[in-house]
Structure 1
Amino acid sequence: MSRDLHETSATVAAVILAGGASSRLGGTDKTRLPIAGATALERVLRAAPVGRRIVVGPSGEDGDVLAERHGARFVLEDPPRSGPLAALARGVAEFSEGPDEATVLVLGGDMPMLRPETLRALAERSAETTSVAALEAEDGTVQFLGAAWPLGRLRAALAEVENPDGGWAGLSLRRLYGRLGEEELATVPVTGAEGSDIDTPDALAQVRRAAGPRIALAQIEVSEQFEETVATVRFAVAEAAEQGAHLVLLPEATLSPFGTDLRGAAEAHHERFAQIVQELAEQHAIVVVAGSFTATDDGRVHNTVIVRGPNWDPHLEYRKIHLFDAFGADESRTVAPGDELVIFELAGTHVGIATCYDVRFPEQFTALAQLGAQAILLPLAWKEGPGKREQLQLLLRARALDATTVVLAADQSPPAEYTGKDARGIGRSAVVGPLGAVQQELGREPGLLLVDLDLEEIAAARAALPVLEHHVELPRA
């Protein structure tokens, strides 16, 4: 699984301004305030889709850890406390060897809700247009510390506003952006709370309300050999925990792939698999969700998703309700259906569960949302076939819209050598926002997707599109 999750060729660097103590927050360093399990600065570092990150500000007690974990380098303003423009100039000086056509993200270390996909889009737009691309707040103002600049244009703008006696002490970022012509600045509207900073106690409280848990989608290849799969699961859970995830979602049928003896696998390995998942949850302090199979009294199995958390909280199981008797498959021959919806709480966020073929039944997703689900986990073992990739994305987007809910889908990565007819996944694990936008997506290879849920985005979607409130039970003939 790649650890280089957010790399993009459009961006070469990020300069993150982390200026230390804030008088409006009682002298606290606002960049080190905890937000949903990580400091504000670390959340910005892990959102920046670049390999090189320069933090202008004090390294503090966590600087060495952050530098190693995120490939960051800490530098100080020269002279200290000269203001944000001086800090930016100091950061840009670190890229003296960089070509003018390179792209640099200019970010605030107190903007913990920034998103990798948004920053990537800003960087790509700047690179394509050779202009500055910046976030635009809801009130129409430009976010100076949420922007992508061509490095050459940034250098030129800094030179144009430099003090007559040298340096940038006492100059504001507004002075820098004021040098741009109208055609040189493009803006992108913010989504949810991603444009928020934490300059005041009220702003800090708002961000903490909006910041949901970090969820990892582990797209893995499931082996027919149980011990090989266990080794893969151990690595995926450890990597997700290392990346700061509160929960890791593994695919449907992680216990044993379709086309094998599911009853035999359930009887031989389910109990041990569930115990291993529980041990991993406790070892890494993370909730683990994985597809398994449990034996039934009629000789079949339930297609079961197990949820195991640290200290046995949560400890749940969801049995797939809709069985895949379609496209030549006959799941109900070996699998018995479940009949209960499952929802649980994760770090103050309500999470529902569905499985694979369930995605074709909108009423299940709507029902989960009406029970309070703000996000729905969807483990998959999607079957290969003509048009199936397009159908999957269409269905994920439709179900997110039906329920104005974030849909988090983790599929199996198909084995390269597999030529059978049973469902072994197509990859394409995805994060879909509450208005149906695909926010992140993998290809066919194994990988890890990370998403920091933005509860304000979900609330805003439901306010704009109140389909859950408008839902009416129709009479049946």
Structure 2
Amino acid sequence: MRTALLQLNVSDDPVANLEGTLGYLRQAAAEGAEFVLTPEVTNCVSTSRTHQNAVLQHEEDDITLAALQAEAKALGIWLLIGSLGLKTRDADGRFANRSFMIDPLGDVVARYDKIHMFDVDVSPEETWRESQGYRPGTQAVVAETAFGPVGLTICYDLRFPKLHAALAGAGAHILTVPAAFSPVTGAAHWHTLLRARAIETGCFVLAPAQTGLHASAAHKTRRTYGHSLVVTPWGEVQMDAGDVPGVYITDLDMGEVAKARGRVPSLENARPFDGP
């Protein structure tokens, strides 16, 4: 199956970002991609909750979702929108960080809200409190597709192996990890964690990422790590996009899932235990 990971460098302007994403999507389809994936927060990278409140929309009104659904239908492809920042009607006003699986008819066949919030102190100069602006999801999701079941995760979810084990246990053959990873933690942990999740589950891991310095007209800018990866079920890095935005094409042999799980059947060998 020919797959394309879109590595993006979006700004805090959803309208401006959409044009570039559509261009990459069309390029991927022209190069034969059947399944295209975009990174976390495809519509807007922003460090300002005030700005996000001004530019983000509810799901039913979101221009990025509507346009990408229409384009997936026009191109006849499967599309994972890694995530969109969306307004909710929660009383506390927090947003959703939501991933969408779109089929070749342009329909949403699965949606997933990021469960694990990035509340960390990377260094004295870099602290994050995602939960102040975004409310966590509660439901793990496996999307049924023409090429097999796909387990949906987002960015910081990567650090929680029980989620990925549950998705693989529910039938997933592919795990998606769209991200906007910090350069510090990316350099230290990104490749290792993605390879570990693939090895543990015998799944392909597809991780489209944001990259570079993200333009902002109104507030502090943000930098992300890039290195969109495709990891095989045996834990090998099949593709590394480096730090340049663009369309990155690779072919997946879905037979590798059964092959890896046959060699090391860790999902079958897992046992419940007590304690400690």
- Work out whether the TM-score is over 0.5: yes
Match for 1:455: what amino acid? Answer: M
Paired residue type of 2:162: E
**Which of residues 15, 33, 43 is equivalent to 1:227?**
15
RMSD: 2.1
Partner AA of 2:257 in structure 1: I
> Which whole-Å CA distance do the structure 2 matches of 1:435 and 1:376 have between them?
14
Contact preservation (8 Å) 1:258, 1:424: no
1:146-180 deviation digits (Å, cap 9, x = unpaired):
xxxxxxxxxxxxxxxxxxxxxxxxxxxxxxxxxxx
Aligned residue for 1:310?
Answer: 104
**2:119 equivalent in structure 1:** 325
SS at match of 1:256: coil
Q: What is the CA–CA distance in structure 1 between the aligned matches of 2:222 and 2:272, rounded to whole Å? A: 34
CA contact (8 A) 1:360 1:395 kept: yes
Tell me whether 1:274 sits opposite 2:68 in the alignment: no
**SS, match of residue 351 in structure 1:** strand
Q: Quick one: which amino acid aligns to residue 242 of structure 2?
A: G
Give the conservation status (yes or no) of the 8 Å contact 1:378–1:407: yes
* Runs of at least 5 residues in structure 2 that lack an aligned partner in the other structure: none
Q: Structure 1 residues 423 and 355, CA, compared in 2 at 3 Å: closer, same or farther?
A: farther
Runs of 5+ consecutive residues of structure 1 not aligned to the other structure: 1-212
Of residues 252-261 and 317-326 in structure 1, the stretch that sits farther from structure 2 once superposed is 252-261
Query: Sequence identity, in percent?
Result: 33
Q: Greater RCO between the two (CA within 8 Å, min separation 6)?
A: 2
Question: Partners in 1 of 2:174 and 2:76 — Cα distance?
Answer: 21
The answer to whether the Cα contact below 8 Å between 2:11 and 2:214 also exists between their aligned partners in 1 is no
Distance change (3 Å), C-alpha of 1:424 and 1:252: farther
Aligned positions of 1:141-290 closer than 5 A: 213-260=1-48, 261-267=51-57, 271-290=62-81
Tell me whether 1:372 sits opposite 2:171 in the alignment.
yes
CA, structure 1 residues 264+309, in 2 after alignment: closer, same or farther (shift >3 Å)? farther
In structure 2, the partner of 1:469 is 268
Any conservation in 2 of the 1:405–1:434 contact (CA below 8 Å)?
A: yes
Give, in whole Å, the separation in 2 of the partners of 1:354 and 1:464. 26
Instruction: Report the equivalent of 1:446.
Output: 245
Equivalent residue for 1:61? none
Give CA deviations for 1:111-139 in whole Å, capped at 9, x if unaligned: xxxxxxxxxxxxxxxxxxxxxxxxxxxxx
Q: Partner amino acid for 2:74? A: Q
The one-letter amino acid of 1:388's match is G
Q: Deviations over 1:259-284 (max 9, x none)?
A: 13333333378622211111111111
Map of 1:412 onto structure 2: 210
Q: Does 2:114 match 1:300?
A: no
What letter corresponds to residue 324 of structure 1 in structure 2?
F
Contact 2:215 2:221 in 1 (8 A): no
What's the CA shift for 1:462?
A: 0.1
Give the distance between the partners of 1:231 and 1:408, measured in 2 at CA: 24
SS at match of 2:225: coil
CA distance in 2, matches of 1:350, 1:424: 33
Q: Which has the larger radius of gyration?
A: 1
CA distance in 2, matches of 1:416, 1:253: 12
Distance (whole Å) between structure 1 residues aligned to residue 44 and residue 146 of structure 2: 30
| 1:397 has 2:195 as partner | yes
TM-score (norm. length: structure 1):
0.52
In the aligned structure 2, how far is the partner of 1:424 from the partner of 1:284? 32
**TM-score, scaled to structure 2:** 0.88
**Structure 2 residue 151 is the aligned partner of structure 1 residue 357:** no
Q: 1:433 to 1:337 in 2, by over 3 A?
A: same
Contact 1:257 1:424 in 2 (8 A): no
Q: What secondary structure does 1:315 align onto?
A: strand
CA shift for structure 1 position 332:
0.5
